[in-house]
Amino acid sequence: MSTTVIILAAGKGTRMRSQLPKVLQPLAGKPLLGHVIQTAKQLQAQRIITIFGHGGSTVQETFKQEKIEWVEQAEQLGTGHAVQMTLPVLPHDGFSLILYGDVPLVTSETLEKLLEASQNTGIGMITLNVVNTTGYGRIVRKNQKVQAIVEHKDASEEQRQITEINTGIYCVENRKLHEWLPKLSNANSQGEYYLTDIVAMAVADGLEIASIQPALDFEVEGINDRIQLASLERAFQQQQAFNLMRNGVAFADPARFDLRGSVTTGQDVYIDINVILEGHCEIGSNVEIGAGCILKDARIASNTKIQPYSVIDHAIVGEKVIIGPFARLRPGTELADEVHIGNFVEVKNSRLEKGVKANHFTYLGDSEVGATSNIGAGTITCNYDGVNKHKTIIGESAFIGSNSSLVAPLSIGKGATIGAGSVITRDVPENTLAFERSQQIEKANYQRPQKTK
């Protein structure tokens, strides 16, 4: 069976009070529409048809790398009208899932259930039972079968007691869409073409309408303003934290955690408050992540401790490593086992072998540091000449004194020692002491400058 995903993404989103189209507003670090497209890809849909309108060029540019068929809805004449725009490119065979760019979190598992339920009937929908039904269309049933969708404003007092509502998400056989969509009418107070009318057409044709409910209520929540967006963000993040806890992760407070991507974890991982994980992260067992840390596309091996307010970006970290606090690992960094990276140390595009220590106020860029070497406080690799980057190679068991400047390209041999305060511009052989200082000048009875009165 071929599956088409139709995504309605033409709305302006006036209530967002933003120049950014609503479907590009971020949730968990990704545009709302991006979540829906990702879900469509997880379903292995043969075709993804996205209906655009307001801010269309920006929306298309954002997803230019995706395999999407774009259809324009120049006039906003209702949900039925939006789906009508797909008819020239909509296949006649298979089924279509009708989704929304501002309903970002419906899962592939829920949609697979909907696809399966719709196979024998030709049409299915997702409904939801809620406490506060104000403003929602009610699902009217007879003998437990869906008979109609009645909008809140049109519902009788008895119908308003119904707690089952319409989510607007449908699965419909394509040949039926080609039959029903041209028959939609805008003879209503809004002058719009409503997609809900296909339910009445299905009932009139004697079809039974399949229905399922999502595993989680927030899967079918739509976004109209920033308050709803913030509420959905927190609900989603809390659910992600719960999923991680089921896999053995402990949180200081699951309400203060953000996962903006994906993560795999070992057992007994501890995450303190206000930690953000971005991209795809891999975290081993017995890892501690301190408060305020940010990890992006990071690989952290087991038994490592990341102390508060450290940033790890596209870096690989070995076992039994200590990082931070206030450390920064930039892209291309690789730390072997038992490395110590201390407070206000920055490492970029460098490989540090086992047991290296750089505990204070240091910058290591474009460098290789041999095992058990010690990098003194205030040391920097001067890797940039204003045009090109150059490499610094430090051998095993080297000792770099505090406040040294290592001017690349440079090689410091195994077991070499660099005196504190040196500017090293030439290669240093193995087991050699190298230092560079100007003459120390002393003036007796020196009088400090005084403030002018």
Q: Which of 202, 27, 1, 42 is nearest to 104 (CA)?
A: 27
Confirm whether residue 145 is marked as ligand binding: no
Confirm whether residue 348 is marked as ligand binding: yes
Confirm whether residue 47 is marked as ligand binding: no
Beta-bridge mates of residue 422: none
Which residues are CB-contacts of 100 (< 8 A; sequence separation ≥ 6)?
A: 7, 8, 9, 36, 168, 169, 222
Any idea which residues carry the catalytic annotation?
360
Assigned token pair, 5: 């995903």
Q: Which of 214, 185, 179 is nearest to 197 (CA)?
A: 185
Confirm whether residue 78 is marked as ligand binding: yes
Confirm whether residue 22 is marked as ligand binding: yes
Separation of first and last alpha carbons in the chain: 90
Confirm whether residue 137 is marked as ligand binding: yes
Q: Which of 264, 290, 287, 265 is nearest to 276 (CA)?
A: 290
Confirm whether residue 102 is marked as ligand binding: yes
Confirm whether residue 230 is marked as ligand binding: no
Contact 393, 411 (CB under 8 A): yes
Confirm whether residue 374 is marked as ligand binding: yes
Confirm whether residue 309 is marked as ligand binding: no
Q: How far is CA 312 from CA 307, 335, 342, 388, in A?
A: 11, 11, 13, 25
CA distance 129 to 152: 15
Confirm whether residue 101 is marked as ligand binding: yes
Confirm whether residue 377 is marked as ligand binding: yes
- Dihedral-angle region of residue 322 (phi above 0 means left; psi in -120 to 50 means alpha; beta otherwise): beta
Beta-bridge mates of residue 358: 341, 375
Confirm whether residue 384 is marked as ligand binding: yes
Q: How far is CA 147 from CA 138, 151, 283, in A?
A: 11, 13, 51
Confirm whether residue 332 is marked as ligand binding: no
Confirm whether residue 138 is marked as ligand binding: no
Confirm whether residue 40 is marked as ligand binding: no
Confirm whether residue 170 is marked as ligand binding: no
Instruction: Give the rounded distance of the alpha carbon of 277 from its chain centre.
Output: 8
Which residues participate in the annotated binding site for acetyl-CoA?
377, 383-384, 402, 420, 437
Which residues participate in the annotated binding site?
8-11, 22, 73, 78-79, 100-102, 137, 151, 166, 224, 330, 348, 363, 374, 377, 383-384, 402, 420, 437
Which residues participate in the annotated binding site for UDP-N-acetyl-alpha-D-glucosamine?
8-11, 22, 73, 78-79, 100-102, 137, 151, 166, 224, 330, 348, 363, 374
